Amino acid sequence: MRPGLILAAIVLVLDQLSKWWVVETLMRPQGVWETPFYTATRIEILPFFDLVMAWNRGVSFGIFNTDGRWNALALSLLSVGIVIFLLTWMRKAPSRMVTLALGGIVGGALGNVVDRIRWGAVADFLDVHAMGYHWPAFNLADSAISIGAVVLVLDALFARPSSSKN
């Protein structure tokens, strides 16, 4: 369980540091409730990658992105419940790969919970785009959750069953 917890802590710290740098230093937006979902500030890094300031008051990809302050509380409580379930799963994880995948998801989920408690919304700032189409803005926590979920699916599909004979 230890490697998963260490990865969760690393993801949480790096996520919060990156959000602090973007929100407090680079973008310096108004308060979350006075700022539209996307601000006009866009910093081009590469032809297909920009930094933007987006507040996600909903879940993944902006689903349920509403202005209700109760939304942040409900989503935070749901996330904490999921984290508890994932920590229980992590204790019984069959492999180090599953433990690390769960650690990434837990760290990312907690990073977004911190945002909802602090700002009432999740700070998203990574914008990938091509030919005029933009992927919804995301952050390091979202990346850790997505990578962890993909690893869990791949493990479920391709992991060899244990060969213990009873």
Where in the sequence numbering do the catalytic residues fall? 124, 142
- Asked if residue 32 lies in contact with residue 119, where contact means CB atoms within 8 angstroms, the answer is yes
- b/e per residue, 72-111, with b = 16+ CB within 10 A? beebbeebeeebeebbebbeebeeeebbbbbbbbbbbbbb
Tokens of 81: 């419940």
Distance separating alpha carbons of residues 79 and 3, to the nearest angstrom: 21
- Asked if residue 114 lies in contact with residue 16, where contact means CB atoms within 8 angstroms, the answer is yes
Counting Cα atoms < 13 Å in the Cβ hemisphere of 121 gives 26
